[in-house]
Amino acid sequence: MNNLLAALLITSIFFTVFVHSATDASNRDAAILLRPTENQHLQDPLGSLHDWLQTSPNAPCNWTGVSCSGGAVVALNLRSLGIAGDFPADFCLISTLRSLDLSDNSLGGNISSNSIALCSHLSSLNLSSNYFVGDLPGFPVEFLNLTVLDFSINNFSSEIPANFVNLRRLQFLSLGSNLLNESVPEFLSELTELTQLVLAVNPFRPSPLPRNIGRLAKLEFLIAPMANLEGQIPESIGNLSSMKIFDVSQNNLVGEIPKSIGGMRNAEQIELYHNHLSGEIPDAFSGLTSLLRFDASENNLTGKIPKVWRRCRWSRSI
C-alpha cells in the first residue's frame, strides 16, 4: 500500500510540474509572438491576427496561424494574411519553432545575417512574395535542420552568400524572381541534398551553370530560365539521374547539347528554347522514355529530327 501511495504521489507531482512547465512555455511563447506587434515592427491592417490575445484560452495555440505540439509552438503559417512591416526575427526566439511561413504578405526592408541567425533551429523558412530588399542574408551559424528555404519573388540583390554552402541538409532552395546580379556560384553544386533549385528571373552577371552540377544526384527540378546563363551545358548533367524538369530556357547557352543528357533518364520535361545552341540533337534522347515535353526552339540546331520522335505524340518544339 505504501508503495502504491508513493507511486501515486510521484505521478501527481510529475503531472503538476509538467502542467506548470507547459503553461509557462505557452505564456512565454505568447509574449514572444506579441512582441513585434506591440512594438509596431509588425502591422496587421486587415485584422487577420485579431485573436492574438494573451488572455484567450489556450493562448497561443489557438491563435490564427499557430500550430503547437505538447503546448509548445512548432509552426507559424502567416501566409497571405496581409501583414506588413519588418522581418519579425523575434518569432525565432521560440526555441521549439520548426517552420516559419511569412509568404505572400507586405513585409519589407533589409534582413540582417544576425536576424537570420536567430532562426538556426528551423527546418523550413518561407519568405517568398514579399518586398524584402538589400543583400541576401548570410547564414553565419550552422542551420543543421533547414531543408526548405524560399526567398523568391522579392527584391534581394547582390550575390548568393558563400556561407549558403553550409546549408548541407537543404532540399528546396528558391531564389527566383529577385534582383541578384552577381555570378551563379559554383558552390551550389555542393548542396548535394537538393531536390529542387530555382534561380529563374534574376539579372545574374553572365555566368555558366556550375560545372559540377552533376553532383546534385538527388535534384529533380532545376528551374533557371532568364538567369543570364552563358557558356556550354556541362557534361556533368548526365549524372542528374533523378531530374524530372530541366529548364534553362531564355538564356545565352552555346555549343552542342551534350550527349550525356541521356543520363537524365527520369526527365519528363526539358526546356532549352531561346538560347544559342548549335549542332544536332544527340541520339541519347532515345533513351529518355519518360520525356513528355521537349522544347529547343529558337536555337541554331541542325540535322534531322531523331527517328524515335517521329512516332511520338508528346509535346515537342524544335
Average pLDDT over residues 36-45: 90
Average pLDDT over residues 212-234: 98
pLDDT tens, residue by residue, 125-164: 999 999 999 999 999 888 999 999 999 999 999 999 999 9
Does domain 2-317 correspond to CATH entry 1.10.3720.10? no
Task: Answer whether residue 70 shows pLDDT above 80.
Answer: yes
62's grid cell: 489557438
CA–CA separation, 208 and 248 (whole Å): 11
Average pLDDT over residues 66-93: 97
**pTM beyond cutoff 0.75:** yes
Per DSSP bridges, beta strands 84-85 and 124-126 are: unpaired
Edge-to-edge strands, sheet with 230-232: 230-232, 252-255, 276-279, 300-301
pLDDT tens, residue by residue, 247-269: 999 999 999 999 999 999 999 99
User: Which pLDDT score is estimated for 304?
Assistant: 82
Average pLDDT over residues 90-100: 97
Phi-psi region of 88 (alpha: psi -120 to 50; beta: other; left: phi over 0): beta
User: Which pLDDT score is estimated for 25?
Assistant: 74
Domain regions of the chain by residue span: 2-317
Q: Which residues pair with 167 in a beta bridge?
A: none
CA–CA separation, 215 and 193 (whole Å): 10
Average pLDDT over residues 73-100: 98
Nearest to 149 by CA among 130, 133, 131, 167: 167
CA–CA separation, 294 and 62 (whole Å): 48
Average pLDDT over residues 217-232: 98
Going 85 to 89 to 93 to 94, the CA torsion angle's sign is positive
Identify the helix (H) or strand (E) that includes residue 124. strand 124-126
